[in-house]
Amino acid sequence: MDSEAIYTEMAQQALVAYGLRGSGFRVVKSTNNVVFQVTAGKDRYALRLHRPGYRQLRWIEGELEWLDALHANTDLCVPKPAAPIFHGRVGEQERYCTLLTWLDGAQVLPAQTTAQQAYSAGEFIGRLHQHSAPMTWLRHKLPPLDIEARLMDRSMFREAGGDLLGDAGNWVLDQVIQRIRIVIQNAASTEQLSPKPIHGDLIWKNLIFQTNAACAIDFDDCAYGSPLYDLAPLLLGYLDEPNYPALRAAVWAGYTSIQPNAAPHETELEPFLAARYALSIEWIAANRHNPAVADRYREIIASRIQRLKHYLETGELKRGDIII
């Protein structure tokens, strides 16, 4: 049985368990998790088949508890859990499955993003952190955002032909670790920037807009960590746009309109962008057999190492290359 057939059968199992037998469903994403859009009469849902081995069950439970709490206590536009976790099994394949409400809205390409939308995105992130900060019980429900540990683990860079990073690449990552370690330690002593529940993967694809109001989807990477990290994925997506300075300023203005005490810490954003960019190299290495990068992963890794080297030399990530 091929992967598509396995995912289809597992989705059908989950829908039966959720009382949605006979509902229409189609794949909308399959890069990491497999996500189906489910249509049941007038209702629509996102059915996720979680990738094996990526998230512990308690972390998935923590994500759903956080989303439930956000719905109970805020008007933030985020998915709402619609059913308990289902454990799907087809042959030797096993996956946790979750069902959430479907959010309508438009994904906006970085090149088409307006300053108003960027401001709205920053404002949304600020409100997410504002409402989540008191939820300290999530510290024991979500994984810690341990950037240093992830970057120290170089096992995914090893292959038959040798180390994908080489001595120079390993040195660059070591230097990035040293810089982000200092920033995180300093931030932890500041109430506004101390660890709290964060989305963890606010790339532009995980933001949708209802008119100009921002919503967030796909909390699968949510963690307990530094709030400034949540701005990094979005800003990296805008980095190579000609109007990046204006978009960055709008995101920061929106964020600090809700989190004014963060305003003096704008200079600490760049180390978090560099750390997120370094983690993207880890993702490329771990997913080098993915058709999207299989024929050029070495080139991508080398290019990103050079960008990080530029950051170490200048304090800023170099602009002008395409970030996938």
Q: What residue type is assigned to position 57 of the chain?
A: L
Q: Is residue 323 part of a domain?
A: no
Q: Is residue 72 part of a domain?
A: yes
State the pTM of this model: 0.93
Q: What CATH number should be reported for the domain holding residue 253? A: 3.90.1200.10
Q: Is residue 321 part of a domain?
A: no
Q: Is residue 320 part of a domain?
A: no
Q: Is residue 319 part of a domain?
A: no
Contact indicator for 212, 117 with CB cutoff of 8 Å: yes
User: Is the same domain home to 151 and 278?
Assistant: yes
pLDDT in tens, 244-294: 999 999 999 999 999 999 999 999 999 999 999 999 999 999 888 888 888
User: Is the same domain home to 210 and 89?
Assistant: no
Helix-helix angle 57-73:115-132, to 10 degrees: 100
User: Is the same domain home to 77 and 214?
Assistant: no
User: Is the same domain home to 83 and 129?
Assistant: no
With a cut of 50, which residues of the chain have pLDDT below it?
A: 322-324
User: CA separation (Å) from 233 to 158, 166, 316?
Assistant: 26, 26, 15
Q: Quick one: which of 8, 2, 1, 54 has its CA closest to 27?
A: 8
pLDDT value of position 135: 93
> What stretch of H or E contains 85?
none
Q: Is residue 324 part of a domain?
A: no
Of 101, 127, 155, at which residue does a domain stop? Answer: 101
- Residues whose CB is less than 8 angstroms from the CB of residue 46 and which lie 6 or more positions away in sequence, other chains included: 28, 35, 36, 37, 38, 79, 99, 100, 101, 102, 217
User: Is the same domain home to 183 and 233?
Assistant: yes
pLDDT value of position 323: 47
State the total domains in the chain.
2
User: Is the same domain home to 51 and 198?
Assistant: no
> What stretch of H or E contains 74?
none
Of 101, 128, 144, at which residue does a domain stop? Answer: 101
- What is the span of the domain harbouring residue 13? 3-101
d(CA 112, CA 242): 11
Q: Quick one: which of 285, 284, 256, 252 has its CA closest to 269?
A: 252
